[in-house]
Chains A and B, each alone.
Chain A
Amino acid sequence: MTSLVIEGTDLTPSINFQPEKMDFEISGESRPENVRKFYEPVMEWIDNYKLFLEANKPKQGEKLVFKFKFQYFNSTSAKFLTSVIAKLDAIRQDLLPVEIEWYYDSPDIDMKNSGEEFSKMFAMPFRLFSIELM
């Protein structure tokens, strides 16, 4: 399955999905002018990846690590992030363990709270990491 790499801009996050390494990351700022247009290909890729996993059964002990490293995301992006996490949860329920790593700039209490809220929403453990992003 091919990787998905989208370079970030001032308004849109970087997307770096590497299925060979089972390593997936979304990072940066998320306030695209058209949020749906930006996130639809991302969600489509995840849907295709789930189909890929179903066709190529994951090996014993394999896990998917998904990293979120946002400096900011707007409210509309939050809706699409919810959909992304819902898809990851479906993969977790049906196919293999999924670890979510939620990184936040250490002074950004709101970003930390967002990670905790998403974790609670899906009853899905998130590992939270405080780092110096700025």
Chain B
Amino acid sequence: MRENNVLLAFTGEFDMKIINALITSVKLKLVEVEEAARIQKKVYNVMVDCLETIFHSYETAQRKNASYNSFSIFTLSRDAGFYYLISGNYIFNDTMEARKKQIDKINALNTDGKKALFRDYIVDDTIADQDSDLAMLNIAIKSGNVLGYEFKKVDANNSFYIFQVKIKIL
């Protein structure tokens, strides 16, 4: 029988209080449902990076345009040998291509390539476009899997960006 278990789901507007509350909830939930401390740590580490990335994207977008729709979603689930972290938030269409290129660039690299790029980013501030480059790379390295994404066009200016991270339960 396939196991399918949503451990955490949130929809709404993120702020740091919400993010910290989610992080605390997940920490406790992982202790409850996951025996392997190594997997608890890995899922926690990736999840914190994911949530902070959403929040910083939201902050950047709001600064750019006060009418930015800050509705976001986040889920953590477990299904047939993997943990899935899925986030969703609105993105301005004029930033979509850059985001796509960023993720495709990361996905094209092997582990050593990702680590080398991470080293380059943290040493030279001018290479990475913003902190999200670094966080995205960190997520890719820690999860050990290809990053998933999809853009759903909403209107002329906005799309809904869905981001997925998969972590294998060893």
A interface, CB within 8 angstroms of B: 10-11, 31, 33, 72, 74-76, 78-79, 82, 105-111, 117, 121, 134
**Distance in Å: Cβ of A29 to nearest Cβ of chain B:** 9
Assess whether A74 is in contact with B42, with CB atoms less than 8 Å apart: no
Cα distance, A108 to B49, chains bound together (Å): 16
Known: A10-B20, A31-B48, A82-B123. A75 touches B134 (CB 8 A): yes
Q: List 21 A-B contacts (CB under 8 A).
A: A74-B48, A74-B49, A74-B52, A74-B138, A75-B131, A75-B134, A75-B135, A75-B138, A76-B134, A76-B135, A78-B122, A79-B122, A79-B125, A82-B123, A106-B37, A107-B36, A107-B37, A107-B38, A109-B42, A110-B45, A121-B123
Whether B44 is near chain A, meaning CB under 8 Å from some CB there, is yes
Assess whether B115 is in contact with A117, with CB atoms less than 8 Å apart: yes
Contacting residues, chain B, for A31 (C-beta < 8 A):
48, 52
Contacting residues, chain B, for A106 (C-beta < 8 A):
37
Instruction: Tell me the number of A-to-B contacts counted with CB atoms below 8 Å.
Output: 55
Contacting residues, chain A, for B135 (C-beta < 8 A):
74-76
Cα distance, A33 to B17, chains bound together (Å): 11
Assess whether B142 is in contact with A110, with CB atoms less than 8 Å apart: yes
Assess whether A78 is in contact with B123, with CB atoms less than 8 Å apart: no
Whether B41 is near chain A, meaning CB under 8 Å from some CB there, is yes
